[in-house]
Structure 1
Amino acid sequence: MTRNPDALAELFTPDGIYEAPLVPKGHAFPRRLAGRAEIRAGMAAYYERFTETDGTVNVEQSRYVLHATADPDVFIAEIDTVLDGADESTTMSLVQIFRLSEGKIALLRDYFAADTVD
């Protein structure tokens, strides 16, 4: 939510993986990033594309639901992020699957409609 690539990268294990399997090849949003350095660089490049006119995350209106799984190192998050723009608010819905290792993200699979991000 903060669009801080350094903080995001530190949530991952050193060899952690971020995947967005529904994003088509060649899209501006990264489909797969491996390791903290690549996650940091890839997300920094993506975040640079944002401007204030793209919207600000409305934390109070955004919602999430966490789901536990049989594996204590895996959980699923359903997220509805509300972005307040100059003229209107929009909601981006996504599902994320997290696999943890020693309290850090070893694998994050991020599922969302790629046409909702540029």
Structure 2
Amino acid sequence: MTRTPQEIFESYVYAGALTRNADALAAAFTADGVFEAPLMPADASFPRRLVGRAEIRSAMAAYYERQAEGGRAPNIEKSGYVLHTTSDPDVFIAEVDTVFDGDEGDRVVSLVQIFRIRDGKIARLRDYFAPELMS
């Protein structure tokens, strides 16, 4: 059964940003899948490049553990996204505006993600966002 870009994207967001489930997040990738955040500096706490499910699982579990100490969940009702298909059926792009409620007003995190899919799983994900948002 072929999954649509929307199904792939929504399951990725649910596993990552919404539930912070590193096992489910890693399972969304192919065995040799690559997760990249190319704008992150090499010494950042958020991983810049992860290769394979085991590395994705362990690095993101560690990141989610650190984030749990003070991180807030996104406000789903205020957040939104637009998916763009491309001429390559295995590539789609997500424009995302994630809203976090705050004491001093909403904080909007805008990003672009490029997904390359193989057999209904993420083979490569490039996540472009401002690095200072992850500090």
What is the TM-score when the length of structure 2 is the normalising length?
A: 0.82
C-alpha spacing 1:109/1:75, structure 2 compared with 1 (3 Å): same
Aligned to 2:67, the other structure's residue is in SS state: coil
Structure 1 position 111 matched with structure 2 position 131: no
User: Residue 89 of structure 1: CA displacement?
Assistant: 2.5
More strand per residue: 1
Q: Percent identity?
A: 62
Alignment of 1:1-118 (within 5 A): 1=17, 2-51=19-68, 53-118=70-135
C-alpha distance in structure 2 between counterparts of 1:100 and 1:53, whole Å: 33
Root mean square deviation, CA, Å: 1.3
Kindly provide the CA deviation profile for residues 35-79 of structure 1, in whole angstroms up to 9, marking residues without a partner as x.
001001111111111136432211111100000101000000000
Report the Cα distance in structure 2 between the residues aligned to 1:14 and 1:65, rounded to whole angstroms. 27
| Alpha-carbon separation, structure 1, partners of 2:116 and 2:86 | 11
Q: What amino acid is the match of 2:60?
A: M
Structure 2: gaps of 5 or more residues: 1-16
TM-score by length of 1: 0.94
Give the number of the structure whose residues are more often helix, by fraction.
2
SS of equivalent to 1:38:
helix
- In the alignment of these two chains, the number of paired residues is 118
Gaps of 5+ in 1: none
